[in-house]
Amino acid sequence: MKKNINITEEDRKIAAFAALAIVIHVLESSFPSPFPGIKPGLANIITLLVLFRYGWRFAAWVSLLRVTAGSLLLGTFMSPTFFLSLSGALASLLAMLLLWSSIRPWVGMAGISILASISHVMAQLLVAWWLFIPHRGILALTPILIATGIFFGLFNAIIASSIEKRLTDTV
């Protein structure tokens, strides 16, 4: 028996953006890291673009699909890496939601990206501390992680803003 599945234009857009974010996520996983656990999070550029073009709900779908499908493709689903990635994604989505729904007119892409990035790395640090390394010494990484969160949050926002400007100029 054939089921009638209604795929909307919204579903297609979410799938396309999620696919792009997944490709970037998988490619980025092959980059060497000078410090364990620190990556630029380039797939978050797609999440930022989607947030500013289509809203928080779209961005949440893209982010969570990226984490889930990316972990399946990389063979890390249900592993510590998956739970760290998921906790970071959920924390950054929550930060974006709070800013998006409360003070968005006063906070631009850079502010949202930086707060989301810091939320991401701090959630990962807390989950790592709680589940894997229950020693207070891990908290010594906090200043390094906040600094890299600020740096990569700003870096990704600059790229996303540049892409957004080009998309707006061509339309």
Q: pLDDT category, 7, cuts 50, 70, 90?
A: confident
Q: Would residue 83 count as lying in a domain? A: yes
pLDDT for 2: 67
Q: Would residue 31 count as lying in a domain? A: yes
pLDDT for 171: 62
Q: Would residue 98 count as lying in a domain? A: yes
Q: pLDDT category, 51, cuts 50, 70, 90?
A: very high
Q: Would residue 2 count as lying in a domain? A: no
Q: What pTM, to 2 d.p., does this model score?
A: 0.88
pLDDT over 90 for what percent of the chain? 69
Q: Would residue 158 count as lying in a domain? A: yes
Domain holding 144, by residue range, is 9-170
pLDDT digits (tens, 9 = 90+) for 66-89: 999 999 999 999 999 999 999 999
The 3-class SS string of the chain reads: CCCCCCCCHHHHHHHHHHHHHHHHHHHHCCCCCCCCCCCCCCCHHHHHHHHHHHCHHHHHHHHHHHHHHHHHHHCCCCCHHHHHHHHHHHHHHHHHHHHHHHCHHHCCHHHHHHHHHHHHHHHHHHHHHHHHCCCHHHHHHHHHHHHHHHHHHHHHHHHHHHHHHHHHHHC
Q: Would residue 146 count as lying in a domain? A: yes
Q: Would residue 4 count as lying in a domain? A: no
CATH number at residue 130: 1.10.1760.20
pLDDT digits (tens, 9 = 90+) for 109-155: 999 999 999 999 999 999 999 998 889 888 888 999 999 999 999 99
pLDDT for 5: 80
- 103/47: higher pLDDT: 47
pLDDT, mean of residues 18-46: 90
Q: Would residue 33 count as lying in a domain? A: yes
Q: Structural domain tally of the chain?
A: 1
